[in-house]
């Protein structure tokens, strides 16, 4: 038997937590086009089927998982399943939003805590589990990247967004701490600030005047966000970006 015959070749995996119909799905498609196995999660597996079918129709490999990013046992099992059956996770994108505005006078403890769980605690659980695997194989020839998707609320809290801003501020702090600890160990940790409306059905249906600016490039294209994420992963380690903010040219900041 020739050397290496019968050996299972494990492909590189890009894991997208919160692969919705906009940014998360676009990121999964982008990495699949680069030859990565796209692993996408949502709480409902049925909602992932159109994305998985699209990636496969374009010649990529994609797998969907129903997983609650707030549940430690589910996150641990998800990472173990992917690593043991599909390949090493070389890219993690945590893309859960949890933007549910409410007056602080009417906000409930239950909803406030849930938003923090989704937008921050889930980032910690997934980031920790993947990082534990990445550190065992880090090296100068290996690119390994963790990207956390932030928002305008990562930088400032707006009226009616106390819960969301608190969670996104905390996610940003998590990304900073992880970058300072894991960067010297060869893992690129980045935080993106998406400052502006994204081309989604939610923006189209609820903010038609703003959505009308799409024709003037006033709305973020998810595919272009995904291009920026690929750029982050592709950077040489002597010039890593930790924080990247993306906004339409006409957005005020």
Rg for the chain (alpha carbons), in Å?
18
Q: Would you say 100 and 165 are in contact if contact means Cβ atoms under 8 Å apart?
A: no
Per-residue pLDDT band for 137 (boundaries 50, 70, 90) equals very high
Specify the higher pLDDT residue, 24 or 201.
24
Per-residue pLDDT band for 1 (boundaries 50, 70, 90) equals very low
Instruction: Confirm whether 33 is domain-assigned.
Output: yes
Q: Would you say 28 and 16 are in contact if contact means Cβ atoms under 8 Å apart?
A: yes
* Residue bearing tokens 């990636």: 55
Distance in angstroms (rounded) separating the CA atoms of residues 33 and 29: 6
Domain that holds residue 186: 13-246
Distance in angstroms (rounded) separating the CA atoms of residues 192 and 231: 12
Residue 9 has a pLDDT of: 57
Ordered DSSP codes for 108-169: -HHHHHHHHIIIIIHHHHHHHHHHHHHTTS--TT---EEEEEEEGGGT-PPTTBHHHHHHHH
Helix axes 122-134, 72-85, angle to 10 degrees: 30
Helix axes 222-234, 23-33, angle to 10 degrees: 50
Return the CATH number at 35.
3.40.50.720
Give the total number of structural domains in the chain: 1
108: left (phi over 0), alpha (psi -120 to 50) or beta: beta
Distance in angstroms (rounded) separating the CA atoms of residues 182 and 86: 24
pLDDT surpasses 90 at 7: no
Instruction: Confirm whether 253 is domain-assigned.
Output: no
State the DSSP code for 220. Answer: B
Per-residue pLDDT band for 139 (boundaries 50, 70, 90) equals confident
pLDDT surpasses 80 at 6: no
- pLDDT tens profile 153-196: 999 999 999 999 999 999 999 999 999 999 999 999 999 999 99
Instruction: Confirm whether 158 is domain-assigned.
Output: yes
123: exposed, middle or buried (Cβ count in 10 Å: 0-12, 13-18, 19+): buried
Distance in angstroms (rounded) separating the CA atoms of residues 135 and 246: 29
Q: Would you say 125 and 166 are in contact if contact means Cβ atoms under 8 Å apart?
A: no
* Token representation of residue 206: 């609820």
Instruction: Confirm whether 84 is domain-assigned.
Output: yes
Instruction: Confirm whether 95 is domain-assigned.
Output: yes
């Amino acid at each position: 038997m020739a050397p290496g015959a019968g050996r299972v070749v494990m492909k590189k995996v890009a894991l997208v937590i919160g692969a919705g119909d906009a940014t998360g799905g676009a990121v999964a498609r982008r990495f699949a086009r680069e030859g990565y196995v796209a692993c996408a999660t949502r709480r409902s597996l049925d909602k992932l089927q159109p994305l998985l079918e699209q990636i496969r129709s374009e010649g990529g490999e994609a797998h969907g998982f129903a997983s609650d990013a707030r549940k430690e046992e589910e996150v641990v099992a998800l990472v173990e399943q992917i690593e043991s059956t599909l390949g090493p996770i070389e890219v993690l994108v945590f893309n859960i939003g949890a933007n549910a505005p409410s007056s602080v006078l009417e906000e409930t403890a239950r909803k406030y805590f849930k938003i923090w769980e989704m937008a921050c605690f889930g980032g910690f659980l997934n980031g920790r589990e993947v990082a534990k695997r990445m550190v065992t194989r880090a090296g100068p020839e290996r690119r390994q990247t963790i990207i956390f998707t932030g928002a305008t609320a990562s930088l400032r809290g707006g009226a009616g967004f106390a819960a969301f801003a608190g969670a996104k501020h905390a996610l940003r702090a998590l990304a900073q701490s992880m970058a300072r600890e894991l960067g010297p160990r060869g893992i690129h940790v980045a935080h993106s600030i998406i400052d502006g409306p994204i081309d989604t059905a939610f923006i189209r249906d609820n903010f038609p005047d703003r959505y009308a600016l799409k024709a003037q490039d006033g709305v973020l294209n998810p595919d272009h966000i995904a291009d920026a994420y690929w750029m982050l992963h592709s950077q040489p380690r002597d010039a890593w970006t930790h924080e990247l903010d993306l906004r339409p040219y006409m957005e005020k900041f």
